[in-house]
Structure 1
Amino acid sequence: MIDVQTGLLPRFFEAVTRRAFGDLSIDDTPALGYLADLLTRFVRSEALRAIRELPGRRLDSVTDSLLAIQDVWATDSPDFNPGAERALRRQIGDYTLFMTGIFRDHVDRLAVTGYYEQEGRRAYRFVAEMARARSEAEAPLYRRLSDRFEMYAGALTYARKVYFRADAVPPAAWPADPLVRTLFAE
């Protein structure tokens, strides 16, 4: 079984992302690493369903997350914490990129593709500007994630269709998590 703890899953996702980037002639090593890490982080289905930045509060959708951003700025709210906005925005960017890339058909069926792309670009742009203001090295990466959101989502879609096939990894090696089993079963 593929195990996140042993490092096999991160290496698998890095190899798949590297191959997809190569096939698509995308030359962006930092983005490659970020997307491989994104896949590793989202391999657990709980990562898709909850943003736990606010104490005792579970946020299950992009809209919930955007509303939570308003709460972290409301001075009369128990959730007042402007610093949490960056984490919430990054989660929105990551979630929308993962969903539009890996589960594109589902996002298309829900008719939220344009919305997810817009909010993903906006979220990464905010994170990039915050990182730039703090002179953080990741600022250009987040800016590229914003500017090239559709390209990176397309690379994830390509990786899933070409490399996340049932014949690519034997079923006995699939992780027990239902989300990961879905990736390989379709």
Structure 2
Amino acid sequence: MADLIHSDGSFRTFVEDVVSEALYGRLGLSDRPPVDQYLVDLLMRFMHRNGVYSVTDEFGYRVESVARMLEEGDVRLKANSFERERQVHRHIGDFLLFWSGMFPEHKFGGVDRFVNPVVQGQTSYLIVSSFDHPPFDEEAALFRRLGAEFEAMQAGLIIARESMPGLTA
């Protein structure tokens, strides 16, 4: 089992090594466009509850269910702009990838038990990728890949988790 702190003293470097090895070493995925740094950033952001539940409603209350996030990210319902729609769908994709990859045993409750994390994660990332105009055009290919290869990214996080002490069941 790997040490939690990398030899250079950085937890982030440890996570970078584990994620890169899982995606490119163990799964043999292509690095074009590169996804490892995005997944590392996601894991770093989600280390704190405020990152996991960063979507808020119009009153500033934290939105914790995927169903409510979908409402917040729909311009026909609560999103006040297409940029807000993109932001929330990016978070939904990240949220579902995080939970289904790092904690695959997690079962969503309430109305979220009807959400298929793979299908919704793919859909949300593909919505984000459809913003292929400035200032989002440079990220569109990354999110297209995250949507198209959601299950591979999920598998990569499951493999990465095996190298992280204290996270395996």
Same fold (TM over 0.5): yes
- The residue type equivalent to 1:44 in the other structure is H
Gaps of at least 5 residues in structure 2 are none
Measure, in 2, the Cα distance between the counterparts of 1:80 and 1:17.
Answer: 35
CA contact (8 A) 1:73 1:81 kept: no
State the number of aligned residues: 159
Q: Which residue of 2 aligns with 1:118?
A: 119
Q: Which residue of 2 aligns with 1:47?
A: 51
Q: Point out the structure with max Rg over C-alpha.
A: 1
| Mean CA deviation greater in 24-33 or 97-106 | 24-33
Whether 2:41 is the aligned partner of 1:37: answer yes
Measure, in 2, the Cα distance between the counterparts of 1:25 and 1:154.
Answer: 12
Q: Which residue of 1 aligns with 2:28?
A: 25
Q: Which residue of 2 aligns with 1:174?
A: none
TM norm structure 1: 0.73
* Aligned-pair CA distance for 1:68: 1.4
Measure, in 1, the Cα distance between the counterparts of 2:58 and 2:14.
Answer: 32
CA contact (8 A) 2:42 2:94 kept: yes
Q: Deviations over 1:123-154 (max 9, x none)?
A: 10011111x23362211111010000001001
| Pairwise CA RMSD | 2.9
SS in 2 for 1:83: helix
* Aligned-pair CA distance for 1:113: 9.0
Q: Which residue of 1 aligns with 2:106?
A: 106
Q: Which residue of 2 aligns with 1:95?
A: 95
* Aligned-pair CA distance for 1:93: 0.5
Gaps of at least 5 residues in structure 1 are 167-182
| Mean CA deviation greater in 81-90 or 92-101 | 81-90
Change (3 A) 1:14 1:112: farther
- The residue type equivalent to 1:121 in the other structure is Q
Higher helix share: 1
Measure, in 1, the Cα distance between the counterparts of 2:13 and 2:54.
Answer: 25
* Aligned-pair CA distance for 1:81: 3.2
TM norm structure 2: 0.80
- Percent identity between matched residues is 30
Measure, in 2, the Cα distance between the counterparts of 1:89 and 1:108.
Answer: 18
Measure, in 2, the Cα distance between the counterparts of 1:101 and 1:152.
Answer: 8
Counterparts of 1:133-148 in structure 2, within 5 Å, are 133-134=133-134, 136-148=137-149
- The residue type equivalent to 1:64 in the other structure is R
Q: Which residue of 2 aligns with 1:11?
A: 13
* Aligned-pair CA distance for 1:73: 4.0
* Aligned-pair CA distance for 1:10: 2.1
Q: Which residue of 1 aligns with 2:153?
A: 152
* Aligned-pair CA distance for 1:45: 2.4
CA contact (8 A) 2:107 2:113 kept: yes
